[in-house]
Amino acid sequence: MGIEHYNKEILLANMDKVHTTELGILRIKKNLKLNNDDVVDYLQNKVLDKNCNIYKQGKNWYCEIDNIKITINSYSYTIITAHLI
């Protein structure tokens, strides 16, 4: 499966649907060493940053910025994970 760069507007237009699970919040806080309570808001702001590299591979969006890689399911808009790269 190839990398698709041309569709990032789809993700950006649906940022209001981006969410994660309770386990996702715990995993992301641990991975990124965050004390931030609103993990979704924090990551949405990262994705919306003009310097964020957004691409789609298979069923997921990948967003890379500030040494962070965020994985978002392209169907449900669930943040699967985020980790340092």
With respect to residue 59, please indicate whether it lies within any of the assigned structural domains: yes
With respect to residue 55, please indicate whether it lies within any of the assigned structural domains: yes
With respect to residue 83, please indicate whether it lies within any of the assigned structural domains: no
**pLDDT of 3:** 57
With respect to residue 39, please indicate whether it lies within any of the assigned structural domains: yes
**pLDDT of 36:** 84
Rg (CA), the chain: 12
Domain extent for 54: 3-75
With respect to residue 20, please indicate whether it lies within any of the assigned structural domains: yes
Distance CA 16, CA 4 (A): 22
Closest CA to 25 of 41, 45, 14, 13: 41
3-4/68-73 β-pairing: unpaired
One digit per residue, the tens of pLDDT, for the chain of length 85 reads: 455 555 889 999 999 999 999 999 999 999 999 998 899 999 999 999 999 999 999 999 999 999 999 999 999 999 999 999 9
**pLDDT of 20:** 97
Structural domains counted in the chain: 1
